[in-house]
Amino acid sequence: MPALTGILADKWINAEKLYGILHILTGICLAFIPQVNDAGTFFWVILAAMICYMPTISLSNSVAYHILKAEGYDVVKVFPPIRVWGTVGFIAAMWLTNLSGNKASANMFLISAVSSVLLGIYSFSLPKCKPQRLVSENAGVIEIMGLSAFKLFANYKMALFFIFSMFLGAALQLTNMYGDVFLSEFASIPEYADSVVVKYSTLIMSISQISETLFILAIPFFLKRFGIKQVMLISMVAWVLRFGLFAYGDPSSGLWMIILSCIVYGMAFDFFNISGSLFVETTTDSGIRSSAQGLFMMMTNGVGAMMGSSVSGILIDRFSRMMVPRLAYDLAGFAAYALVIAILFALLFKHKHEPEKLNVSGH
């Protein structure tokens, strides 16, 4: 869906309007979820909600880049301090659901539904982000249909970038899907049952997002000083630490490892997701940038997420009945996986850092 909606935003409909429509549709789907009692129906409603929601992640980047460049701003410098407020919202949602006792209740869908509809309505007040509609005289079917962004896979460097993004997107899923559950299930071990980690697992996990707010602000410095290859490598090493520390931490003597793992997550996520988005923005043609952002999102939170969630689910099922020991094995395995990805990326991805090309503005 991110790739398809990126094409719509590039060719046929204002990006900010599409963004608003998708958020309103997402809110309607989420509001319906608490009424569903059948597992089969629940699956399809969740799927509909995600079909509408997932494209908004890349569209939000496209809208922000379009508006900033229209006003003549350097997106590499200005975008991260704006993007940080998305993470603040993430933290607020986690704290609200945990402290109100709704981290595992139907009410969390209603909270999300209201937020989504309000954001959708607000989106129509944003500056207009008109489609480029840049079609050459001798345009073929691919260009007319808005599929030109897929040609990026023919470029060795971009193809490698997207493939490694997919592998990192797969790694992201383990703690995102099972991290909170992992901490909550320490309750099954008597000595940890009443620990702060068990009672406030979502708050503990939110340290990851708090860390994000700091590392997002550091992205302009790191990107311009070291370039995308080094920044992505730093992210991969941070993923190794994220999984390794989480694997061996516990709510007592190993609490510091869980906390440090959450702090490291900020670097692991931001230096990959936000820097990757900026790399796509600064290395692709203006006529396909929404599509290119959609491709990046498709590879990370689409193909990569599917692969990562499937593999982690299979691994968890093969270990013992308790979540804590079986996920610890998986975490250690994913740490080794991230290390292998980092080594291969360092060897295969060739990129010459040119700081002057990162000063991307509308002028």
Spans of all domains in the chain: 2-124+152-348
> Looking up tokens 């071990």, which residue turns up?
189
pLDDT at 336 over 90: no
SS3 of 136-160: the string is: CCCCCHHHHCCCHHHHHHHCHHHHH
Confidence band (pLDDT; 50, 70, 90) for 286? Answer: low
Give residue-wise pLDDT tens across range 83-93: 888 888 888 88
Whole-number CA gyration radius for the chain: 21
Q: Distance between CA 151 and CA 275 in Å, rounded?
A: 22
For the chain, the first-to-last Cα distance in angstroms comes to 32
Q: Which helix (H) or strand (E) holds 60?
A: helix 39-70
pLDDT, average across residues 298-322: 72
**176 compared with 218, residue with greater pLDDT:** 218
Calculate the CA dihedral of residues 111, 113, 117, 118 and round it to 10 degrees: 10
For position 138, what pLDDT does the model report? Answer: 46
Lowest model confidence (mean pLDDT) among 18-27, 97-106, 240-249 = 97-106
For position 20, what pLDDT does the model report? Answer: 92
The Cα angle at residue 309 between residues 306 and 313, in degrees rounded to 5: 135
CATH code for the domain defined by 2-124+152-348: 1.20.1250.20
Q: Where are the beta strands (DSSP E) in 22-116?
A: none
Give residue-wise pLDDT tens across range 228-276: 888 888 888 998 888 888 878 778 888 888 889 889 988 888 888 877 8
Highest mean pLDDT among 38-42, 186-190, 247-251: 38-42
pLDDT at 143 over 70: no
pLDDT at 179 over 60: yes
Q: With a threshold of 0.85, does the pTM exceed it?
A: no
Q: Distance between CA 75 and CA 293 in Å, rounded?
A: 15
For position 142, what pLDDT does the model report? Answer: 45
**In angstroms, what CA-CA distances link 48 with 22, 203, 217, 361?**
11, 29, 34, 36
pLDDT at 145 over 50: no
